[in-house]
Amino acid sequence: MLDLNRGSSRGFTMVELILVIVVAGILATVAVPRMLGRTGFDTRGYADQLAATVRFAQKLAVAQRRDVFVQLTANDATLCYIATTPCPAASWAPGPGGEKPYTVSAPNGVAIANPLAVLAFDRGGRPQTAALLDIQAQLDIPINGSGTHHVYVEQETGYVH
């Protein structure tokens, strides 16, 4: 016997299928560029990582009661106990996990815009850099990638943000 009752058949209408394709297309135009263009995320991530490294250098200087230097290049930052660039292996400062040398490297497409040669913290945690001695309120370390993020070091306290 043939079932002539078409109301009980199951499936999608053409309008429903087209609507799903349109919604998927809108999601693809929004999500795909964000997934492929990671430079913005990498820039912010490296700026945060560099700020944490500079904060750690300040805390290490206070904890060990000795000068700690952050040697900055366009692509990385390394902790050292002396200002000589490059830092000799005997003077590498340890990282939070004890690793030597403690270096944070910028991802592809991200760089420190105007790297200082060296950012120094004295045993009291105060920054001792020539750039700060020009009566500036803070040191600005710009990170360029997709946009620019900044790491600031306050002159008086050494506060990093």
Query: What topology does CATH give the domain 39-154?
Result: minor pseudopilin epsh fold (3.55.40)
pLDDT of amino acid 57? 95
Domain boundaries, the chain: 39-154
Cβ count near 152 (within 10 Å): 14
- In what order do the strands lie in the sheet containing 111-112? 111-112, 138-145, 147-154
H or E element: which one contains 9?
none
**C-alpha–C-alpha distance, residues 131 and 141, integer Å:** 11
Average pLDDT by consecutive 10-residue portion of the chain (161 residues)?
61 92 89 73 91 95 94 92 89 92 92 83 85 65 89 88 89
Q: Convert the pLDDT of each residue in 64-73 to its tens digit.
A: 999 999 999 9
